[in-house]
């Protein structure tokens, strides 16, 4: 057995072990029945997990994990892998693949033509697949002021919004921090993103409010959600500092944050996007289970 196949076998064993099953085939059989009472979730929150933060598993394995943990959605999967999600009855809660990258975005007019072409294609792909959310990014400022970025982003996004509205696709621009993770990013504060929403004035453009990033950028998480929830179409979680588990080792108290989200009447997804720092793959899966429990208000 070569190294790649050997590692895959080990991973499959780790997943099954972490979920208390002898094999992934046993896990598949388990999923044909209802979730066991000790894993049943309350149903007040739609849970998801970001694909990239659990990429030590294959997408198929992650599908099995999330269903065994009681939820059925994965963020940040592109068209090339949607067939895997569909095979397992898992939702693509935030589609990606239309973006050029994280730095070359809608805030700079020189990227508009390739972005428009790509997003027009992907809007149709998302809609045809029966999905709803498609991520987008402001990109970096490169010396330009926030107003300049707003003007360019508004002009460019207006060229694809009619298609998004017609096809029932919601474009969601993610808010990042520029202090630690994404230097020079335009949409590094909620006020910039909210102003963009107001200028576009469309129910098919929202903000992906990343709680981790906005805690670093500006704090005041709960009040911001309460006052501006109409502009937020999706949420990401992670611990601060470090972007790790959302447990009591970090400064955010997620039960209160998620209760605030739920109180607004939010019906979308809250997606785990933390990077598990625990040592073994079994423990990382346990971290995901714990995070879902923390947010299952």
* pLDDT band, very low/low/confident/very high, at 25 (cuts 50, 70, 90): very low
Q: State yes or no: pLDDT of 10 exceeds 60.
A: no
| Average pLDDT value over all residues in the chain | 91
Provide the β-strand partners of residue 269: 46
Q: What is the mean pLDDT of residues 252-256?
A: 98
Name residues whose C-beta falls within 8 Å of residue 24's C-beta, 6 or more positions apart in sequence.
Answer: 12, 15, 16, 61, 64
CB 152 within 8 A of CB 109: yes
Q: State yes or no: pLDDT of 9 exceeds 50.
A: no
Q: What is the mean pLDDT of residues 89-99?
A: 98
Query: What's the predicted TM-score (pTM) here?
Result: 0.89
- CB atoms inside a 10 Å sphere around CB 72: 18
Provide the β-strand partners of residue 270: 47, 235
Q: What is the pLDDT of residues 42-56, one digit of tens each?
A: 999 999 999 999 999
Question: pLDDT above 70 covers what percent of the chain?
Answer: 87
Question: What whole-number distance in Å separates Cα of residue 47 and Cα of residue 58?
Answer: 19
The residue written with tokens 């959310």 in the block is 133
* pLDDT band, very low/low/confident/very high, at 39 (cuts 50, 70, 90): low
Q: What is the pLDDT of residues 138-193, one digit of tens each?
A: 999 999 999 999 999 999 999 999 999 999 999 999 999 999 999 999 999 999 99
Helices (H), 233-274: 254-263
């Amino acid at each position: 057995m070569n190294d790649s196949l050997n590692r895959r076998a080990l991973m499959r064993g780790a997943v099954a072990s972490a979920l208390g099953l002898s094999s992934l085939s046993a896990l598949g059989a388990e999923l044909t029945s209802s979730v066991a009472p000790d894993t049943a979730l309350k149903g007040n929150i739609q849970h998801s997990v970001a694909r990239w933060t659990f990429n030590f598993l294959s997408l198929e394995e992650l599908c099995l994990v999330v269903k065994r943990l009681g939820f059925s959605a994965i963020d940040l999967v592109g068209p090339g892998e949607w067939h895997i999600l569909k095979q397992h009855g898992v939702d693509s809660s935030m589609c990606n693949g239309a973006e050029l990258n994280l730095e070359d975005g809608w805030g700079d007019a020189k990227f508009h033509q390739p972005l428009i072409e790509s997003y027009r294609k992907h809007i149709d792909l998302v809609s045809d697949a029966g999905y709803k959310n498609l991520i987008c990014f402001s990109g970096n400022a490169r010396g330009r002021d926030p107003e300049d970025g707003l003007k360019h982003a508004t002009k460019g996004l207006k060229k694809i919004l009619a298609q998004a509205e017609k096809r029932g696709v919601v474009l969601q621009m993610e808010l990042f921090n520029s202090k630690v993770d994404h230097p020079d990013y335009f949409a590094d504060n909620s006020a910039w993103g909210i102003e963009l929403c107001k200028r576009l004035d469309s129910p098919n453009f929202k903000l992906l409010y990343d709680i981790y990033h906005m805690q670093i950028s500006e704090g005041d998480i709960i009040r911001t959600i309460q006052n501006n929830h109409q502009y937020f179409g999706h949420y990401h979680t992670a611990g601060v500092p470090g972007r790790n588990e959302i447990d009591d080792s970090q400064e955010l108290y997620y039960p209160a944050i998620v209760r605030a989200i739920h109180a607004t009447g939010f019906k979308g997804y809250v997606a785990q996007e933390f990077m598990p720092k625990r040592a073994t793959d079994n423990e990382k899966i346990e971290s995901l289970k714990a995070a879902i429990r923390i947010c299952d208000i």
